[in-house]
Amino acid sequence: MKFFVDTAEIDEIRELHELGMVDGVTTNPSLIAKSGRDILEVTKEICALVDGPVSAEVVATAADAMISEGRKLAQIASNIAVKVPLTWDGLKACKVLTGEGKMVNVTLCFSANQAILAAKAGATFVSPFIGRLDDINLDGLDLIADIREIYDNYDFDTEILAASIRSANHMSDCAKIGADVATAPAKVIKAMASHVLTDKGLTAFLADAEKAGIKIL
């Protein structure tokens, strides 16, 4: 499973990239606003840092305007994936932009039916939102499993990009189900390294080393 980091913070991306933990980046207007920087400027910097896809989201809602914005975003770098919402207009924009050879990430997917439409429209990625479904007492992981089954049934090329990930457990669960990509905040990716028994074992080892006077340097 590929890891995308869901952020517009350059330092977070750089740290994970240096460890080989980043295969791509996802951004959205909220993340760009949080960074306090110009969308074109920060997106260009991210694209120069990361080789993989960098999702940059349109802000228009009508198909023609989305297409125009998508074309402008795609000019930033060759690894831009234009991010459009899973609306009827978004699907129209997806069809046109993918037809022009651009990567498209269809976001805000909350049902298997929507995911089927995204694949039919030629989406490079579809982004089902796990956490937001969990917030309304639905199991977001069930949606990932449903999409995986449907896409495998028909050999759709669209990659499942699990989004709205809230915990390290979400990451491993998505991997078990077969999501192609999971995008998460840097803190969630880092949390995957944590385990209480690791901490407990390390404390014991260090205490024993101190008692035995063990030194390496």
Q: Which of 133, 135, 138, 129 is nearest to 105 (CA)?
A: 129
Q: How far apart are CA 75 and CA 71, in angstroms?
A: 6
N- to C-terminal Cα separation, the chain? 38
Q: What's the alpha-carbon Rg for the chain, to the nearest Å?
A: 20
Q: Residue-wise over 137-173: b if at least 16 C-beta within 10 A, else e? A: eeebbebbbbbbeebeeeebebbbbbbbbbebebbeb
Q: Is 83 a catalytic residue?
A: yes
* Marked catalytic residue, from 2, 44, 72, 83: 83
Q: How far is Cα 32 from Cα 105, in angstroms, rounded to an integer?
A: 17
Report the catalytic residues. 83
